[in-house]
Homo-oligomer: A and B are copies of this chain.
Amino acid sequence: MRFETSTIKDIAKALGLSTSTVSRALRDRYEISEETKKLVLAYAEKVNYRANPIARSLKERRSYSIGIIVSEIANNFFSQVINGIESIAYAKDYHVIISQSHESFAQEKLNVEHLASRSIDGLLIALSSETQDLHYLRDLYSKGLPIVFFDRVPQDFETHKVIANNFKGAFDATEHLILSGKRTIAHLTNSENLSITRERLKGYQAALNKYHIGFNPDLVKYCQHGGMHSEELEQAVKELLPLKPDGIFISSDRLTTGCIMALKKTNPEVANTIAIAGFTNSNLVELFSPSLTSVKQPAFEMGQVATELLISMIEAKRPVTEFQTKILDTELVKMVKPKL
């Protein structure tokens, strides 16, 4: 901001001290006498002194801020994760900078590189559904930028990761459909690149397997753009319906709502006859019609855990070499019988 504001220099001049003394007094260093500290602190308070974080960043080569990349904030899952991140970051005096990839690799890369050039101290990222090439991230990582992945994580990247128990979440949801009598259960899911896609598919298959239901690959539909385009979903629904599914297990927030929307739009007459179970953290599910069974991820907690891991990496004195993959349990919220 171009407007004047008091600096350490001003304080030093006013008090007849050197800038170093003032700086040290403000940071409460042991070398400075109590007396001087009091003097400085009082004066700083009086003139409403605020350290300039830009100058500090330049000097210290760090910014006390962490970058976040999600596909979009208009998604309850991600906004809850962000709230979790903020809760920890603020408490530890870090600021957060949020960027959206909108499921585009190019946008993701651009944002990450911009954040990096702005001296973020670390990065929390859920990959876009397009992302396959991790070179740019490896580059930054090898240059020393701490990175923690959450939700959508790469396979072969040695760092901390935080994910939901996708296998179990998918298994539970599918099993729930089976136990309520469904036998032809379709699976609508994201791009095959994503870790969550693979893990959830396995859970789905395992549940079918447990109840001796054959796995039919035709019943699995992948959406490359994660449901960002409605045509994508309508197409998938159109291809699925001829196979007469009596249940659908859907693999992500955006897809779940999008799929119901597509069903209602293209085939309203069957929308209520198909049982739906899907991953979603929407806080509006109770309002949906047709209603559905949802798999909720511990989003807030995921943000917290990821942030704690990231900050521990940032503040580690020596390079971290032991990495963890934390797996958090999902929760199955069963469909309530629609009243009326």
Contact = CB atoms under 8 A, between A and B. Distances in A.
Contact of A118 (B53, B121, B143, B268): B53
Copies of the protein in its oligomer: 2
Given A79-B73, A260-B287, A287-B289, A53 B117 contact: yes
Interface string A140-168: 00011100000000000000000000000
A198 interface: no
A143 to B, nearest CB: 4
A72 B79 CA distance: 9
A17 interface: no
Contact of A257 (B50, B264, B284): B284
A2 interface: yes
A30 interface: no
Q: What 10 A-B pairs are tightest by C-beta distance, nearest first?
A: A289-B289, A74-B79, A3-B144, A3-B143, A73-B73, A287-B288, A2-B61, A50-B117, A54-B57, A54-B58
Contacts of A287: 257, 260-261, 264, 284, 287-289
A2 B73 CA distance: 29
A247 B63 CA distance: 52
A289 B337 CA distance: 13
A58 B116 CA distance: 17
Contacts of A2: 61-62, 144
A340 B272 contact: yes
A1 B53 contact: no
A227 to B, nearest CB: 12
Given A286-B261, A287-B260, A288-B289, A1 B121 contact: yes
A119 interface: yes
A213 interface: no
A76 B79 contact: no
B79 A117 contact: no
Interface string A266-281: 0010011000000000
A32 interface: no
